[in-house]
A and B are shown apart, each in its own frame.
Chain A
């Protein structure tokens, strides 16, 4: 299976870094772009879990929240630099993600999703009921941008930094899925019992996956906090997890390009439809239904299946593949 070509990845990286410079004149567009990049970093992590390991982690936003709150606490209360606080907070969130994932290691499919939903709910409640660290429902505002050689990294500089981390996240993801580890992930996704029988350590692979995916959630959570300057339990609730999942499913799970396409199309919509709050949620709901029923492989997945069908019209293998996505 061809997942992404190297050249396409380079073109994407160049475009991703050029766009903030082009959008710099328009503050609103630049902000939408910055938020889209954070969503894309999250979607890449979600894709690693949902698209390659085959598990749908609805506690994704909660793990991002752990990192978000931790980074703010480290900066404000302990006076750390963002650049030290971010990796520490991210690793903390990743370890928490692994610990939270442990009870669900033996579960798969719907049952895993259900378990992760419960974990997400508990995390949201924790954000509300531990105001010492989170300031409860009110949230924490006026979070300063990251420090940068005596000054502050904000505006275009911060957007470029986020773009850089997002591109790096996608390149690392592409590298992981081509490695033997990624091959094991796909084997587990396709049939975990068979994977175990041919010698793949399913539980260990899942723990590694939890850790890596939580790193993505964590880095995104840290940047979210300092980019928006405000975090609250709602910023990391289950709807956020669902949205990130939708970006992946809509674009095409299990591919590198899919989540990029999905996020580029869907992530800006809430900002562009700010005056139509109710309509935004309806649209999101309709899209979830449409994707689940009509495009199980997402936009990019459907396109790939078409390519395959026209390439070899005499076998039914393409149809078999499509129906199993």
Chain B
């Protein structure tokens, strides 16, 4: 269980005069679900953007599965099994669900999932009846599930989820948490969330970012009781 998957050291990023991230260290191990919380603007999405190759860090090292991934592009990271979803849901809206999935299958082509595996995934995410519908006319929850499916087709080792339950109805949040619990058996997860229930029920460990700096790192029960986290982010006790 202790094999390191993602290793981040001294990660920093400035946007002009604004320091988005300052000297952030962190790691995740294989099979782990690592959560990240913090107030708006604390650098969570910037962190994911850098790990997933969307923006370059100013300094710091990034390793994934033992290889250096600094400066790699998102498609190169998808090839080594690191992928992400977006805070604002992102699917090919004008294309049918089926073609969305087919586009994700291009990467691995014949090395990818076989038909039975794909059908199993599609049924698990309850998209099997929606294959011929334009992805843009799915509900938000369905689009989020499609996003997951498109990542799982890439046979990832780590999926980074940026607010996976953002905008979902209360009942949908419960269903999504259930799906994510089952997802843990398929790959390692990194998840940003503001909904503490998600963090409490899913995360093995939580990193807290405040104003671009990591202020805490530990099991959710401890973090949610940490006085500084309560004062500067949570406001009230969640655990």
A-to-B contact residues, CB < 8 Å: 1, 180, 183-184, 186-187, 190-191, 193-202, 315-317, 320-321, 324-325
Q: Mark B79-117, 1 if CB is under 8 A from A, else 0.
A: 100011010001111111001001110111100000000
Is the C-beta of B150 less than 8 angstroms from some C-beta in chain A?
yes
Please tell me which stretch of B39-47, B131-139, B177-185 contacts chain A, meaning at least 4 of its Cβ atoms lie within 8 angstroms of it: B131-139
CB pair A199 B134 closer than 8 Å: no
Residues of A within 8 A of B94 (CB): 190, 320-321, 324-325
B-to-A contact residues, CB < 8 Å: 52, 54, 73-75, 78-79, 83-84, 86, 90-96, 99, 102-104, 106-109, 133-134, 136-137, 150-151, 153-154
A198→B148 CA distance, assembly (Å): 11
Residues of B within 8 A of A195 (CB): 103
Residues of A within 8 A of B86 (CB): 194, 197
How many pairs of A and B residues are in contact by the CB < 8 Å rule?
85
A124→B74 CA distance, assembly (Å): 38
CB pair A194 B92 closer than 8 Å: yes
Residues of B within 8 A of A187 (CB): 92, 103, 106
Interface of A is mostly: helix
Distance between B204 CB and nearest chain A CB, rounded to angstroms: 25
CB pair B95 A199 closer than 8 Å: no
CB pair A186 B95 closer than 8 Å: yes
Asked if A197 meets B78 with Cβ closer than 8 Å, knowing A191-B90, A317-B134, A324-B94, the reply is: yes
Distance between A200 CB and nearest chain B CB, rounded to angstroms: 6
A25→B133 CA distance, assembly (Å): 52
A293→B103 CA distance, assembly (Å): 31
A316→B138 CA distance, assembly (Å): 10
Residues of A within 8 A of B106 (CB): 180, 183-184, 187, 198-200
4 closest residue pairs by CB, A with B: A199-B107, A199-B78, A317-B134, A324-B94
Asked if A199 meets B154 with Cβ closer than 8 Å, knowing A190-B95, A193-B90, A324-B93, the reply is: yes
For B95, the closest partner residue in chain A by CB is A190
Distance between B93 CB and nearest chain A CB, rounded to angstroms: 6
CB pair B83 A198 closer than 8 Å: yes
A197→B93 CA distance, assembly (Å): 16
Asked if A198 meets B103 with Cβ closer than 8 Å, knowing A186-B95, A320-B94, the reply is: yes
Residues of A within 8 A of B137 (CB): 315-317, 320
Most-contacted residue by chain B among A198, A315, A316 (CB, 10 A): A198
CB pair A324 B136 closer than 8 Å: yes
Asked if A197 meets B134 with Cβ closer than 8 Å, knowing A183-B103, A320-B94, the reply is: no
Asked if A198 meets B78 with Cβ closer than 8 Å, knowing A180-B106, A190-B92, A324-B94, the reply is: yes
A187→B78 CA distance, assembly (Å): 16
CB pair A196 B93 closer than 8 Å: no
Residues of B within 8 A of A186 (CB): 95, 99, 103
CB pair A315 B133 closer than 8 Å: yes
For B137, the closest partner residue in chain A by CB is A317
Asked if A200 meets B136 with Cβ closer than 8 Å, knowing A187-B92, A191-B90, A324-B93, the reply is: no
CB pair A196 B92 closer than 8 Å: no
A198→B53 CA distance, assembly (Å): 12
Asked if A190 meets B93 with Cβ closer than 8 Å, knowing A1-B99, A183-B102, A202-B75, the reply is: yes
Residues of B within 8 A of A201 (CB): 75
Please give 9 more A-B residue pairs, beta carbons under 8 A apart, in addition to A184-B103, A200-B75, A320-B136.
A184-B106, A194-B92, A196-B73, A197-B74, A198-B104, A198-B154, A199-B75, A199-B107, A321-B94
CB pair A320 B134 closer than 8 Å: yes
Distance between B97 CB and nearest chain A CB, rounded to angstroms: 10
For B147, the closest partner residue in chain A by CB is A194
A183→B150 CA distance, assembly (Å): 15
Distance between B226 CB and nearest chain A CB, rounded to angstroms: 33
Asked if A197 meets B73 with Cβ closer than 8 Å, knowing A183-B103, A191-B90, the reply is: no
Distance between B174 CB and nearest chain A CB, rounded to angstroms: 27
For B91, the closest partner residue in chain A by CB is A194
A193→B84 CA distance, assembly (Å): 12
